Each structure stands twice: as C-alpha cells, then as structure tokens.
Structure 1
Amino acid sequence: MSMDCIKQRRSDWRFWLKVILTILYVLVIAALIPIMIWRLVRRDVKAHITAWFIAGIFVMLTLPIFLTGLVQHLTNYTRPDLQRHIIRILWMVPVYSLDSWLALLFPQYAIYFDTVREWYEAYVLYNFLMYLLNYLRAEYDLEKELVDQGRVKQPKPWCCIPVWPAGRVFIQRCKFGVLQYVVIRCLVTLTALITQWCGAYHKGRIKYDDAFVYLSIITAISQATAIHSLLYFYKATKHMLKPIKPLTKFVCVKAIVFFAIWQSIVISLILKIKVIKDSPVWKHYSIDNVQTGIQDMLICIEMLVIAIVHYYVFSHKPYVNPEAAQVPCLTSCLKMLDVRDVGTDMREQVYIIQTSAMSKLHKITSAKSRSHDEENSDKETVQDETQNNENMSLLQSSIDKDQAVTTNTYASFVNTEQSGQR
C-alpha cells in the first residue's frame, strides 16, 4: 500500500471523527437550550437559576474550543510522553466549567462538585511538571546538565530559603513539592466533606470555630509550596525549555490554579466585610451559598478565555507528523485516562523519604553510639588513672612503712651497740 493511500485513510477517519463530534454536540445543544429557557421563564425562578442560565451560555461557547484542541491532539498523537500530559491539562477547562455549572443548578450539592474541581486542580500541576520533565529527559541528560550548571538561587520571594543541591536531588525535591499538593488537596477536600456532614464546615464563613478557615490556610500553604517548586524548576531549566516556549504555558497553568483559590478567599472577605450589601435577590440563600454561587459563575465565564488561551498555548501543531507512527484514537484516549504514573511517582517519593529518614536515623544512632563509646573510653581511662594513683599511693605507703621500720631497727641497733660499749 502506498504512502499516499495511508495518508488519505488517516485524513478520512480524522475528518469523519470531527464531523461525528460536531453533529453530537449540536444535538446536545439543541436539546439543552429549550430546557434552559423553560427553567428561566418559570414564575418561581430563583437567582441561582438566572446565574445558571448565563453561565450555561459561556459553557456552550467554551466546550467547542476545548473539543477542537482535544481532537487535534488525539488525531496527531505522535509524542505520547508529552501529549498525554497536555491532554490532561486541556481537560481542566471542561472539568471546571461543567463542575461550576452543575454547582449553580444544584447549590445544595456544590461542595461535592467542588471536591472534583479542587482535586483536578492539583492533578494539573503534577501533569505540567511531568510534561516539562519528560521533554527535558528526551532532549538532554538532565541530571548531568543540572550538575554542570551548579546550584541555582531561589526565586523571589523565596530567596531566604537555602538553595537546593543540583542534579537528582533537585529533581526529586521539585517533584515532592508538587506531589505533596496532590495528596494534601485530596485530604483537605475529604476533611471538608466530613466536617460538612458534621455541620462544622461552611464555605465562605470566616470564623475561628469553622473548619473552612483552617482548611483554606492549609491549602494556601501547600499550594504556595507547589508553585514554588514549579517556579524554581522553571528558573533552573528555562534555557533548556526555550524550544517549547514554557513561560506562557507556566503562566497559564499557574494563573488558573493560583487564581482560583485566592479568588474564593477574596470573595469570602468581600462578603464578610459586607462590601456586597444584603439583597432580596439572595434572601433565600446562606452566606456560603452566595459565596459559592459567585465563584462558580465567575469560573464559567473565565473558562471561555482559558479555553482560547489553551488552544494556542498547548497547540497540536508541533506534533503534526504524517510520517510518524500513528497511535489509534481509542488507544490515546485510554492512555490519557491511565493514572498509574501518579501512583508510581508517589511510591517513588515515599521510598526516597523513607530512605532519607532511615539514613538520617542511622547517622544519629551512629553519632550517639560513638559518643557513648567515647564516654565509656573516657570513664575507663579515668578509672585506670585512679586505680594507678591508688596503687602508687599504696606502694608509696608501703615503702614509707618499710623505711620507717628500717630506720627504727637501725636506731635500736645503734642504741644497743652504744649500751654494750658502756
């Protein structure tokens, strides 16, 4: 079979895949719009339904842009080691959009939808770091390059932290800094669910006896650590990453992840200090419902902009290669959904931490053992010296006694001789 025929077949299935997805999307929209309008024009319509309708328009505009970028990557899947992570990052747009849209429709279940969104936020940070690492490992001997480069100063505003060793240790610490956010984010969302069931968690309520405050602080610290690790890694490798234009990608990912949580905190503060006045519009809602609703609606609007930026920043064009071995579309989808690499990296980090802890414990134990041996040696030396001194004292005392006896005997002998002469 000729090369032209193979190219023609590939083009055919790619074309028909796009046509089928377009028809399906149009059918879904055609069925959904009447339902949205019907819910909006009812007499008893509430504020969250109006927000849901407005947000829905933005969601409908966002999804086609996402699907276009996704299909382009799936049909030009020539670098699985890189595109797997790019596709996972692209999925952030529909996850955020649909999650927030459903949370507006069902505000009583918003915390459950937000749990998915917050976990995926951490997952995106991990995938972005792995995308950069996989590119560098494919193009360079990364550890050697970092060692030859030497230690890199900490980025601002973390310049007071000691610099990290170059090479493998640097890579491991950057991976740990991002992976800890994945773990802590999952634990925090699970804790939020449990405290919600117990009545101790109210999103947007800033009070000392509410779990929301403390979980937000923990999340902010963990997220700052992850952002620091990414920024430090970028600073150390930016000269090697120039071909893939990492700065725009980094700003895009960082802006979404960093902005989402701080936007939530700012909205909570605004409601707390009553910059937004009480209104009859949300008299039927609690303060946490209002805070969550504003946040979700803003996210639906912002994701339209993010989808456009993603399409160009994480473009499929560098991976278009008709001569490369083409991975079937279904296979590429399955690889995208396979998250075993996360578990592998987590096990690796646990092993590194365990090995490091055991090594430090061994050093401490060895130091204590040496110190104990030195103390025992010193004690034995002191005891030996004391014993020698005692022995010398006894010997000297014996000598003194012998001398005294000899002197007395001699004196008695002299006295006896003198008496005999008389």
Structure 2
Amino acid sequence: MVLADPENCRHRILIGEWTFVSNLNSSNETGTGRAARLGSPLEVLRIFLKLGLSCFGGPIAHIGYFRDEFVVRRKWIDEHAFADLVGLCQLLPGPSSSQVGFSIGLMRAGYLGALAAWSGFTLPSAAILVVFAYSARALSGSVGAGLLHGLRLTAVAIVAQAVWDMARNLCPDLERASIAVMVTLIILSFATSVAQIGAIVLGGLAGLWLCRNEAQTPSGQVDSPVSRSVGLVALAMFFLLLAVLPALRSLTVSSSVALFDASYRSGALVFGGGHVVLPFLREAFVAPGWLTDDAFLAGYGAAQAVPGPLFTFAAYLGAVVSPEPHGLAGASLGLIGIFLPGMLILLGALPFWDSFRKRVGAQAMMRGVNAAVVGVLGAALYNPVWTTTIHAPADFGIALVGFVPLTVWRVPPLVVVAFSAAAGAAAAFL
C-alpha cells in the first residue's frame, strides 16, 4: 500500500510493521508500487536460497549481491534506505550481511520472511561444512594430511588480507591506528576472552576521547520496521541469554548448554563479522580442548570455499567437537547459537537507530570499536593462525602466493582455497 502525502510528495511504504520513508519523484512510482507489495515467505526463501548457493566472497561481496538483487533488479528497497540499513548492520555485533538479508526478508514478508531469508542464505553453506566435517575424518595418509594443511595455509592468506583491508579502511589516521596497535598488544599479552572483550571496550572509550573530530551528521531518515516494545523485548533477551547461559553452564554438566553458550558468546561479542569471529571461536572451542588447532584451522580454510556467511563455520565446529552432542545435533546448536544474538540485537536496535546514529559521541565510540576490531584480528593472525601453521619456508611461500592474489589481483577466495589445498597435498606427496 502506498500513501501519497500531498504536501511534500513523499511516499510512505507500509509493509506489515515496516515503515520506509523515501523521497521519490513521479518517475519512480512504478518501482515504488512493486516495492510496496507484500511478498510471501516462500518467495523470499526461493530468492535467498539462490543467493545462498552463489554468494561467494565474504560479507562485502554479499552486500553487493544484495544491492544488485533487491535495489536494482527487484526494487524491494530504495538506494538510500539500503545504505542506511547496511550502516546499521556494520555497527552491530554479529554477521552484517546476514543481518541485512534478515532485514530485507522482514521488510518483504514479515517475521516469517525474515526467517526464510536467513534459512535460504545460511543453510546451504552450513550443510556443505557439515559434510566436510564428516569427510575430513576420513582423510588419512600423507596426501590427506597435506590437503588439510593446505586449507590451514588458506587461513593465513585470508586473515592477512582481512587485516590489511580492514586496517586501511578502519584505521586511516594516527588515532585509530594507535588504538589498533594497543589492542593487539593487549590480546597478545593476555590471550583470554576477557582480554578480548576488555580490549574492545577500551577501544570504544579511546574512540570517544580521540575520534570526536571525525564525526559527521548523517543525512536522511530511517523509519523503524520494528516497534519499540518489540525492540526492547529483543534487547532484553539478548542480554539475558548473555548473562544466564554462562551461569547455567557452570551449574550443569550439560555439554549441549556449553556448546550453545560458546557459540552464543562468540556471535554476541564480535563486531565487524566475518573473519573477526576467528579468535572468539578459537577461544570458545579450542581452549576447552574440544578440538585441536589443526582441525579448527582446516575447517576455517574450508569455510572460505563455500558460499554464504562465514559464521556457518560454527556448524562445522559443532559437528566435530569431542563432547556430545556433535554431528548434526551439535552443528544445529552451533549454528543457531552464533546467529541468534546478531538477530536479537538487530531487532532491538532498529527502533532506536535513527536517533543514535546522529549522536557525535556514538559515532566516535564506534570508530574506536572498529579500530579495536582490527587489533583483535591482527593478534589472531599471529596466534593461532601463524604460529600453528607456518612451520617451514614452503608453508610461508604457499601462504604468500595466496595472499598476493587476494590483495592485489582480487581473485575470488575459492581460487586461493583450491591452490593452497592442492599445494599442500603436492608438498606432502613430494
């Protein structure tokens, strides 16, 4: 339904609980009408399933796919609203591209549409990684070990490229570069999850002090698709689970609770999404002895070869952990646990986003948090990625040959995965 405002010719698009305001002229009215039509969850599932099978390249590439599909081709959302939505999801903890897809599904077909968007985009890569978890156990002998080592070398190249790109974009000045270096030193000195959380908080406080001069007043307006009451309930659930799950884990011997808590905390505390989740998941899964660093990094390398969000790596981890449940049950707990907090905080933030993003202090704090994220990932590049993988000059050579095409030539990560796995197997055979 489209209601025209005769005073300023603004069209208000009402879709379920979603209200979008966009400045549209008469030449756009056909596209506006299409965007306003309520879709079905099945339609959303079909389109996102196609994206879930074809979206390679990480969260930034996913955003590009979404823009082409929903802004340009289908006109479900206009350019300005899409840009504001992406900005919100990049500032929140959790998987940014999945949060954008979740929101578009919510806009198109309500809460069932949001669930359909998440399912279609997420489940294909999760299923592939679970299959890899079972097949990796069958890889034996020198060639199989070399193949898995090649996947671990992929992780070196991928994480190094992520640190390089994020440092250039998020630490372009002395203040933010200093925050990143400070956080890296803290994480390397105190390799615990508490240190990671404390370093990010410290980065936000430093940004509040050092980065206020960079603040700009955002243009436009973002009307919320979620009521404030629903948003407050979602926020309450986010923080309640974050507090209750560790307490419940300490009071019970249930490994299911422990697995869900490990995944939930990783998803709840990761700003920047994508590769930044690596150190949190390692601390949550490797530190308790649930699996080895080798198995962890092999799965991380395999995750670069599949489409969809990198957070589906948690499905692999849940499938291979040593305590029960593992297999399909563990994969399901890991997958739901890591995605749930990002979706809850997204629902909680949407009603308050427009006023929050215009505050100078909030912008400065998030600049500091983003710089701290670069420091966390930089520390992870050294330990565990480098220290547990680079053992010989040949290892460094394979990782370097993977890093340069990713960074300079911008080849798809799938190409680097294939090269590194083949090189690792060939080195073992020779």
Normalising by structure 1, report the TM-score.
0.28
Task: Name which one, 1 or 2, has greater alpha-carbon Rg.
Answer: 1
| Structure whose residues are more often helix by fraction | 1
